[in-house]
Amino acid sequence: MNLTLAEGEKLITEILQGVSGLKPGTEALFAVPFPYLVQANNLVKGQTGMFISAQDIAATNNGAFTGEVSGAMLKSIGIKYAIIGHSERREYFHESNELLTEKVIRAFEHGIHPIFCCGEPLSIRENGSQNTYVNQQLRDGIFHLDSEKMKGFIIAYEPIWAIGTGKTATAEQAEDMHAHIRSLIEKQYGTDIASSVSILYGGSVKATNAKEIFGKPNVDGGLVGGASLNASEFCEIIKSLKN
Ligand code: PGA
């Protein structure tokens, strides 16, 4: 929940100017607030590999749910991606794994690709049960999907203790969890699907650490918060993506 429309348009315009084309096989998504989706989508039109994402999606279809934004609404304005289960939604708006399951289903009903977030709080990391915790989030949230839907699925691993705190998981901690997540997918869906899934790391990604984090074999990209609000910083992060 940052920036006015004019500030957001300026930011995206500067980023588009700063990144002259993406590396083959990479994509850049801008997850903007609901009121700016249409304008932002117009800005990236015609830019190969650049897309606009919503930051959330309703768990229900159209109806009497004041304040919610449905998959049908997003589809009707040409939006093809939605973040689901960001830790701030889970924490501040009490979104449960069960609710997120419904959101994932609604997204697919309307041809919207979910960017499904998972990640443990500090207390769980400290007692060493982060793998079990994330396993449960994925089991409840997405492992009900069939293989077709899991092909090319996007997961963002975001250790809550590293979001907006300036604390980054080390590249090794990110890689360990990403490898764990990929092995869970592999067990359930097989190797081909596991390797088609993009696993993004989120939590204080910056221009100075992006290359090292993205350099790990199971880290396919990033979900960037604070650093995305600065055009030159975000351009450097995009340039750090591996092919
Ligand atoms: P951050 O945010 O990059 O500021 O830590 C990440 C996020 O919001 O997912």
Cα(54)–Cα(228) distance, rounded to whole angstroms? 15
Per-residue model confidence (pLDDT) at position 217: 97
Integer angstrom CA distances of residue 147 from 194, 220, 233: 10, 20, 37
Question: In this structure, which residue's CA is closest to atom 1 in ligand 1?
Answer: 225
Q: Is the pLDDT of residue 4 over 90?
A: yes
Cα–Cα nearest to 5, from 45, 51, 36, 37: 36
Chain segment 149-206, per-residue pLDDT in tens: 999 999 999 999 988 888 888 999 999 999 999 999 999 999 999 999 999 999 999 9
pLDDT tens track for 38-75: 999 999 999 999 999 999 999 999 999 999 999 999 99
CATH topology assigned to domain 58-67+77-232: TIM Barrel (3.20.20)
Helices 37-44/5-18 angle, 10° precision:
20
pLDDT of residue 163: 85
User: What is the distance between the alpha carbons of residues 81 and 205, in angstroms, rounded to a whole number?
Assistant: 21
Annotated active-site residue 86? The verdict is yes
180 is a catalytic site residue = no
Mean pLDDT value of segment 125-154: 96
Residue in 88, 95, 120, 158 annotated catalytic: 158
Q: Whose CA is nearest to atom 8 of ligand 1?
A: 225
CB 163 less than 6 A from any atom of ligand 1:
yes
Q: How far apart are CA 107 and CA 229, in angstroms?
A: 27
Q: What is the pLDDT of residue 20?
A: 83
pLDDT band at 243 (very low <50, low <70, confident <90, very high): confident
The residue whose CA is least distant from atom 3 of ligand 1 is 225
What is the per-residue DSSP string for 24-74? TT--EEEE--GGGHHHHHHHHTT-TTEEEEES---SS-SSS-TT---HHHH
Mean per-residue pLDDT, 213-223: 97
Give the model's pLDDT for residue 169: 87
Q: What is the pTM of this model?
A: 0.96
